[in-house]
Chains A and B, each alone.
Chain A
Amino acid sequence: AQSVAQPEDQVNVAEGNPLTVKCTYSVSGNPYLFWYVQYPNRGLQFLLKYITGDNLVKGSYGFEAEFNKSQTSFHLKKPSALVSDSALYFCAVRNTGGFKTIFGAGTRLFVKA
């Protein structure tokens, strides 16, 4: 069965510092991995995805994520956080050939000025 774990309910970081939001997954076969962001009273917005190829994926708003197959992780990173990055972040996984995308419980990122 597929599963996604986001071990931190909340991540706090000062503006200008690097940020990391963690995600680990379990899936049979090869995964498709996604990061979405949710702002208050809005739907989820796509940030980036890993399908195949280079393990480092670059996405919107300066975010990037690194696929690590041996550790089954797909952590979201940004070199320099902005206050406007404060939001709820969801990691999601789908196995290749599967029909269902499984979302993690979300991690709230709080960036302090």
Chain B
Amino acid sequence: EAGVAQSPRYKIIEKRQSVAFWCNPISGHATLYWYQQILGQGPKLLIQFQNNGVVDDSQLPKDRFSAERLKGVDSTLKIQPAKLEDSAVYLCASSLDFAGLFGETQYFGPGTRLLVL
């Protein structure tokens, strides 16, 4: 079974530029998550999709971050414009079960390491 795919693996941009990350979850997984992991910290949930609907985006900085999951499969996370403090690893995860109803296991992709100069 193929795992969660993410691209690119690394990205270096200058502040105020824009950047986009792509995620393809495990086939058949209904729930997709985007996390931000700053060095030395645990992952922080940015947004959670159930199929193509948003379940939770309370910690997404909506003035600069946006995400979509068209057709309920793959997803794109965008930052525009980027700030220095956005330097982090962006992790995508997916799970089979409906969000919140079961103790579902999340399966993580390798992440995209973003450096904002």
Contact = CB atoms under 8 A, between A and B. Distances in A.
Consensus secondary structure, chain B interface = loop
Contacts of B21: none
Given A51-B103, A94-B103, A99-B48, A43 B42 contact: no
Interface string A31-61: 0101010000111111001110000000000
In this complex, the interface size class of chain B, counting residues with CB under 8 Å from chain A, is 20 to 34
A103 B44 contact: yes
Interface residues of A, number: 26
Contacts of A46: 105-107
B43 A44 contact: yes
A94, A97, A101, A106 interface centre (most CB from chain B within 10 Å): A101
Interface of B: 4, 40-45, 48, 55-56, 58, 91, 93, 99-103, 105-111, 113
Q: Which 5 A-B pairs have the closest CB atoms?
A: A103-B42, A43-B108, A32-B103, A51-B103, A99-B100
